[in-house]
Structure 1
Amino acid sequence: MPVRTLRPRSLSLAIHAAAMTLALAGAAPALLAAEAPAASSARSYDIAPGPLGRTLSAFASDNGVSLAFDPALTEGRRSAALRGRYAPVEALHRLLLGSGLELQQRSDGSYTLVPAATDGALELQSSLITAQAAGAETLPAEYAGGQVARGARLGMLGNADVMDAPFSITSYTARTIEQQQARSVADLLQANDPSVRVVGGRGDLVDSYTIRGFSVQNADVAFNGLYGLLPFWRVPIEFAERVEVLKGPNALLGGISPGGSVGGTINLVPKRADDQPLTRVSVDWTQRGQLGTHLDIGRRFGENNAFGVRFNGVYRNGDTAVDHQGREFPMLSLGLDFRGERLRLSSDLLYQKENLEGVVRPLLTGPGTTHIPHAPDSKTRFGLRDSYLDQEDYSMVNRGEYDLADNLTAFASIGGRQSNYETIAANSILIGNQGDIVNSLARQRGDRRTYSAEVGLRGNFDTGPLRHDWTLSANRLHERLGMVYAFTGMQPGNLYRTSPHTPLPDFSSLDGSIPKTNETDLGGVALADRLSLLEDRVQVTLGVRRQQIESRNYDQTSGARTSHDKRHVWTPMASVLVKPLQDLSLYANYIQGLSQGEAAPMTAANAGQVLAPYKAEQYEIGAKYDLGGFTTTLALFEIRKPNAYTDASNVFRADGEQRNRGMELSLYGEPLDGVRVMAGATYIKPEQNKTGDPASEGKDAPGVARRQANLGVSWDTPFVDGLTLDSRWIYTGSAYLDSANALDVPHWNRVDLGAAYAFQVAGKPLVARANLENALGKDYWTAANGYLSISSPRTLSLSLTADF
């Protein structure tokens, strides 16, 4: 927004609970009274060594320093590492250490480079702020426009600039989350990323995604780099500073994920306390009657602001835009961090509870269905009227880094999650072509206990002209799942009318303790080395991981172990990145993805046999061009993933394959002053091969649209100071629901509109926002994994945010 740009970090408490929460915050004087002095002239940096000219130019641009120099002076020279808290000019001095050059100020206040004095001495003014190491999760800076960041985490390899990453990555910022009033990771990615689509609408039981045409579960969304620790049913977003998306398989980078996703991975980076104290309160309303409030507090204290505390609290409750549906949602998060000279520590705690009354479930197709009927009114809840979901999650992640030497860092992280849930819902089956359905009633109770950890070393050294940035990492994940469930009763219904109240069957047999039904252990050791030369203009990354997978299944009634499988596999990765021009990167990669092998069904001749882990393979080439305020990326990829089926001799085997060949185009940045753009398009050809069935051989894989596109524009209006207008267009092409391609799901479009107005009252900054999702009120089907889901209805959201 012009003049009064704010960066609110939205987290709500319900309006009726705001006074209680503020009172609680006021009762914590140690937190609120820690008003550290503002340090507007200093920032925290974590910049790796690199080509001197490019590093200095990027730094000067990001920090508003006027710097001009002859490129010949920096040719063949590298910058020093910069990790700490400095004023910008001091930071430039430190980047030049050992380069043979020094900074010189001109009479007009700008700076240039000159050869250093012969003794190489460098004296820093004593008045400059004392150096201090940056936080453990120092993030890449925001890119022009602030909607995405300049880089993201590449698993065990650490943070990387987009132009230095041999993969397709996007990191969405808190600014984007707040501007769009996203309520979940699903909301954010559906609205902005053409390679990502969400399975199901906002009123569904669970959020899940597709990336590059392959399914991704919430279990595979990482919490600050660790899998399996975020809520299982729906991932909140208000506590996140960044939502990072890495597209394509990535087993080398993070190991196998619990759900075995191969289309890509999502990582949530939690918020940290800034040097500027923050007390931010929001109130919001979502159609038809969801009320909420929202508290976000951040403080730093201690010598050099070494200790940080960031608290986020949300409470929402009320009716949703879907008929006869209500939702209660409390969430609390606490982020603690310490940034010392060599030691960085952080701890994050997350609590979420959700009570959803009136669940909307996806549809399966049943007998007599020869074509897909037209989509019903998206406000209609056609499933079981008295369905519900109660879930509660507790999560913690602890991380630490210690610099053993200037070129060697040890790191470790450990976390855990306890998840409990209960649901009564219906799997709806479409019968015929007129919209008639049958609801298969079920109750399910379960708990998940997950522990995840990683340790490693990261360092660098030179061998002649080659620079080596290496990482050695070991990780382990243990998950215990307990679950009881029962299916009983069939209830008729229709897509075009809300189901009536009906008595629920007796599910009391599922009361009591929940037995263990599965245990999974995933562990691995990986080594990777990035070799660079010619001032990082040529980068080659090689790596390999030894992954161990162990799984045990148990009968829910007797507790007896029904299957056990333990295997290990090797998974490699290789990439090359070349920069023929400073702002142009060309790259190629080969990398694998891993999924746990399936158990043969009881009807197969090899019933109960667990197949070997599936290995998906990706070949990708791409280009990235940074125009300074606007970046364009292009990627061509092929992903092959094995599929299992029962052959003619009744043996369950993994001989099938889904091959997705595609192209991605992405554009983002601020091409004009005050005009921000996020846009992209994806084309995928999803082919089934070696299926063992002539009806599906060579056909499109079900649920994968060949064409997807997103276009988002944000405009700071020149005629009203502080007013920003937003619009987004989302397009998904037609897809087939079944493997034989007999059932066609039509294409769909969605238009979202938004506005934000920043102003001040009594010297306090406020931002009022309005967003209209599905502004044209389109009703449409979405398809994935053989299921049909109804679109989200037109939904208006309003909020008001104030800083104190």
Structure 2
Amino acid sequence: MTTRKVSCLLLAPLLLVCEQAALAEETEIELPSLSIEEEFQDPQAETLEGTEEQGYRVGSANAGVLGKLPLKDTPYSINATSAALIKNLQAQSVADALKYNPTVNSASGGDSVGGGGAFQIRGFVSENNESFIDGVRMYARAPMEDKERIEVLNGSASFLYGFANPAGLVNYTLKRPTAQRLATFTTGLYGGKQVYGHVDLGGPIDSQNRFGYRLNVVKVGKGETAVNEQHHGRYLLSGALDWNISPDTRLALDYSHFYADVEHGDDTFTVGNKVTSIPHAPDATKNYSPAYSISRDGYRRYGIEFDSRLNDIFTIRSKFNYTRILTYRRRAANNIITNDGDYTMSRSYRESIRFGRAGNIFLDANINTGPIAHVVTLGFSAEDGNTKNAYPYASKKISFPGINNLYHQDPYPDDVVGDTRGRANRNVEKLRMTSTTLADRITFNEQWSAIIGASHITIVDRNKSYSNYLKTGTFSRQPKNDKERTTPSFALTYKPLSNLSLYASYIESLQKGDTAPSTATNADEVMSPYMSRQVEAGIKSTWGEMDLNVAAFRIKKRNAYTDLVTNMFKMDGQEIHNGLEVVATGKVTRNLTMTGGFTLMKAYIDKATDHALKDKTPQGVPEKIARLYGEYALDQVPGLTLTGGLSYTGKIYVDSLNKLPIPSVFTGDIGARYKMDVFGKGITYRLNVSNLWGHDYWTTVGGTMSLGTPRNVALSATLDL
């Protein structure tokens, strides 16, 4: 297809919108019928794939060692964001994609350095850029364009995934080959002047559908973002190949190469010990970083998956991936020193490479003991990571002279000459984690079922510090962070009605110790592993074409925080989080789709040796979150859908003593989507305006603040080739 013809296809609908609107009342228009009614009536709801027509409802999700399960029969809180919703939100980061998940609070600022990979789930912060791809862990920024869905498991997940942060985890499902030919091209602006193009191809390779492929190629130009003089460029090449060896056996391969370059970005602020009140957030469209602030992220990932039903009893499942992850930071950090917004600036450098190998193998056995059915799973998961940093480098910040102000900025001084850069060849961390799990899914009858099991988890963590390397030429070995523990898990589900499930569960988790943030005096120091415990009870129900899920939880873990007086990252006492989550997704009427809900928490510190911490709200924890997103399809203009959303985040304390609060934040978004056929080709136009009122606000995590996303306008056109 020629460039001229593609351009005509993309532009022609704009000339016809007004004409169709004028004729809508005079012309009887026959809308295409939707053959999805049976899917909503399916008691298992596994055919729900999150399409627009299905109200973005998803029927099943990955549950780690238990495999793929129907969501309403899973006794854990899991919320899924489908590819259709990701595309319609025009999400270029995971923070964008999850902005209406009421159980998640993004811990990133508006510049999305690192891809917005750190989240607060149930008030706990996930490890920065720690995520899972198809159930296997990976530490890297994740692009959205090659993801079929995002599954957020709230709370402790050690039993399901072997080792996990008590916050929970984010699991990305890659786009796989399609049974029918697929070819789409999307172009547009992610915001500002960020022009991009995205090609998504897939389908069978042979006539017997034994081989299939999927290919996603993305290029985002380095145009200016919604923040002045800030540029985000990136590209993605992602491919997948499926070989259906037999009806019961499949071999799958995937490869992805991703690179992102953020220039003149990464606005981060710490708070000095003389500040008694957080200054009001300055203009978020302005840039508070020097031009030499650069952040780069990239990786190459190789994955393989093998599934086979051996016979009527046994099934084997296995996955493995290898990643090489590059991280480069030449980042500036601003330290606010007065209530009036005066701040000083410093800059640090880092380049690191992480080599990761992770995988699992599970053997399932379907066994009946009289009227009771069992699915017994024996599984083994392991990961081995080696992180290397470039040395020598200025691990301690280089402080620049002078004082600037948030509301009256002066030019930044030139960068310091002679900043050393060695190759990333010095080992700073070697991490090995293994988990052996035995699980039994028991079905007593149509109403009662249970899951019982235990995991034996081993963590071996070796760290080296080069903080004095520039002075002494030597490194020091950190204390060994080794631990092993057997952790039990229990869950019980009762279904009084086919559309209603009640459940209760208990999970213990052993997790890798928290890592001190880069802004702390003991930056990158890894704390010792620790246990967390979670009790959860919930209700999952379906009413018409709406899914409603409610979960109450109580979680205990060690308290980690940054002392704003010493700027040291410490562990003291335990955090206790009691909370309630309510999430609803689906179609309210034929024309109205809604998703959202709220989280209410009471979080506090207990058993701290520092009595000043007792009963304080943990640092950086919002106790109130509410999100709502809606779409309304206009009958008067077939193909036109109006969209919009609201987000509320309650007060958050920057400090551990609860003296420095960030006020609550309320933002709104609007948008529209228009679909039509031109020359036999389907075209979809999208427009999204986020932070409609241009509200300036702070976000925070671990004692570090960032500015929220300013008003941003994104638009795109997708052509079905």
TM-score relative to the length of structure 1:
0.79
Change (3 A) 1:727 1:764: same
Partner of residue 394, structure 1: 300
Partner of residue 705, structure 1: 622
Change (3 A) 1:688 1:560: closer
Identify the match of residue 427 of structure 2 among 489, 513, 516: 516
Q: Does 1:178 align with 2:87?
A: yes
8 Å CA contact 1:194–1:710 kept in 2: the answer is yes
- 1:445-484 alignment to 2 at 5 Å? 445-484=351-390
Partner of residue 625, structure 1: 541
The SS at the match of 1:379 is: coil
8 Å CA contact 2:94–2:142 kept in 1: the answer is yes
8 Å CA contact 1:779–1:793 kept in 2: the answer is yes
Partner of residue 720, structure 2: 803
Q: Distance in 2 between matches of 1:503 and 1:225?
A: 45
- 1:605-616 alignment to 2 at 5 Å? 613-616=529-532
Partner of residue 331, structure 1: 236
Q: Distance in 1 between matches of 2:562 and 2:283?
A: 39
Q: Distance in 1 between matches of 2:697 and 2:465?
A: 40
Q: Deviations over 1:277-296 (max 9, x none)?
A: 11111111133211111111
8 Å CA contact 1:384–1:499 kept in 2: the answer is no
1:460 to partner: Cα distance: 1.1
Q: Distance in 1 between matches of 2:526 and 2:703?
A: 23
Taking only the aligned residue pairs, the percentage that are identical comes to 30
- 1:516-665 alignment to 2 at 5 Å? 516-535=427-446, 537-556=447-466, 557=469, 558=474, 561-597=477-513, 613-643=529-559, 656-665=573-582
1:420 to partner: Cα distance: 1.6
Identify the match of residue 633 of structure 2 among 711, 716, 726: 716
Partner of residue 305, structure 1: 209
8 Å CA contact 2:231–2:263 kept in 1: the answer is yes
Partner of residue 51, structure 1: none
Matching residue's letter, 1:280: T
Change (3 A) 1:295 1:421: same
Q: Deviations over 1:612-653 (max 9, x none)?
A: 521111111111121130121111101111136999xxxx99
Identify the match of residue 61 of structure 1 among 15, 18, 38: 38
8 Å CA contact 1:687–1:698 kept in 2: the answer is yes
Q: Does 1:321 align with 2:321?
A: no
Identify the match of residue 194 of structure 1 among 79, 91, 102: 102
The SS at the match of 1:551 is: strand
Matching residue's letter, 1:573: S
Change (3 A) 1:149 1:595: same
1:565 to partner: Cα distance: 3.8
Change (3 A) 1:334 1:218: farther
Change (3 A) 1:555 1:786: closer
8 Å CA contact 1:465–1:533 kept in 2: the answer is yes
8 Å CA contact 1:380–1:497 kept in 2: the answer is no
The SS at the match of 1:61 is: helix
Identify the match of residue 597 of structure 2 among 669, 674, 680: 680
Which of 176-185 and 777-786 deviates more? 777-786
Matching residue's letter, 1:511: G
Q: Distance in 1 between matches of 2:590 and 2:612?
A: 54
1:476 to partner: Cα distance: 0.8
8 Å CA contact 1:375–1:779 kept in 2: the answer is yes
8 Å CA contact 1:385–1:502 kept in 2: the answer is no
Partner of residue 277, structure 1: 181
Q: Distance in 1 between matches of 2:516 and 2:667?
A: 41
Change (3 A) 1:678 1:799: same
Q: Distance in 2 between matches of 1:440 and 1:600?
A: 18
1:510 to partner: Cα distance: 2.4
8 Å CA contact 2:495–2:501 kept in 1: the answer is yes
Q: Distance in 1 between matches of 2:675 and 2:37?
A: 29
1:59 to partner: Cα distance: 11
Matching residue's letter, 1:459: A
The SS at the match of 1:274 is: coil
Partner of residue 22, structure 2: none
1:204 to partner: Cα distance: 4.1
Partner of residue 151, structure 2: 244
Q: Deviations over 1:227-253 (max 9, x none)?
A: 025x2xx32111001111111111010
CA RMSD of aligned residues (A): 2.8
1:256 to partner: Cα distance: 1.4
Q: Deviations over 1:741-769 (max 9, x none)?
A: 11111000111111110011111110111
Partner of residue 19, structure 2: none
Change (3 A) 1:290 1:370: same
Identify the match of residue 733 of structure 1 among 638, 650, 660: 650
8 Å CA contact 2:49–2:82 kept in 1: the answer is no
Q: Distance in 2 between matches of 1:646 and 1:773?
A: 32
8 Å CA contact 1:219–1:227 kept in 2: the answer is no
Q: Distance in 2 between matches of 1:777 and 1:59?
A: 39
1:458 to partner: Cα distance: 1.2
1:789 to partner: Cα distance: 1.7
Partner of residue 583, structure 2: 666
Matching residue's letter, 1:378: A
Matching residue's letter, 1:62: E
Which has the greater radius of gyration?
Answer: 1
Q: Distance in 2 between matches of 1:185 and 1:337?
A: 26
Q: Does 1:769 align with 2:686?
A: yes
1:554 to partner: Cα distance: 2.4
Q: Does 1:351 align with 2:257?
A: yes
Q: Distance in 2 between matches of 1:279 and 1:577?
A: 42
8 Å CA contact 2:616–2:658 kept in 1: the answer is yes
Change (3 A) 1:289 1:598: closer
8 Å CA contact 1:285–1:291 kept in 2: the answer is yes
TM-score relative to the length of structure 2:
0.87
Q: Does 1:383 align with 2:289?
A: yes
> How many residues are matched?
665
1:384 to partner: Cα distance: 2.9
The SS at the match of 2:208 is: helix
1:655 to partner: Cα distance: 5.8
1:698 to partner: Cα distance: 0.6
1:333 to partner: Cα distance: 0.4
Q: Distance in 2 between matches of 1:287 and 1:688?
A: 41
Q: Distance in 2 between matches of 1:573 and 1:360?
A: 41
1:507 to partner: Cα distance: 4.6
Identify the match of residue 66 of structure 2 among 152, 157, 174: 157
Q: Distance in 2 between matches of 1:496 and 1:417?
A: 43
1:539 to partner: Cα distance: 0.9
Q: Distance in 2 between matches of 1:205 and 1:759?
A: 36
8 Å CA contact 1:756–1:767 kept in 2: the answer is yes
8 Å CA contact 2:267–2:287 kept in 1: the answer is no
Q: Deviations over 1:413-457 (max 9, x none)?
A: 110110122221112111110111111211111111101011120
Identify the match of residue 748 of structure 1 among 662, 665, 670: 665
Q: Distance in 1 between matches of 2:486 and 2:307?
A: 28
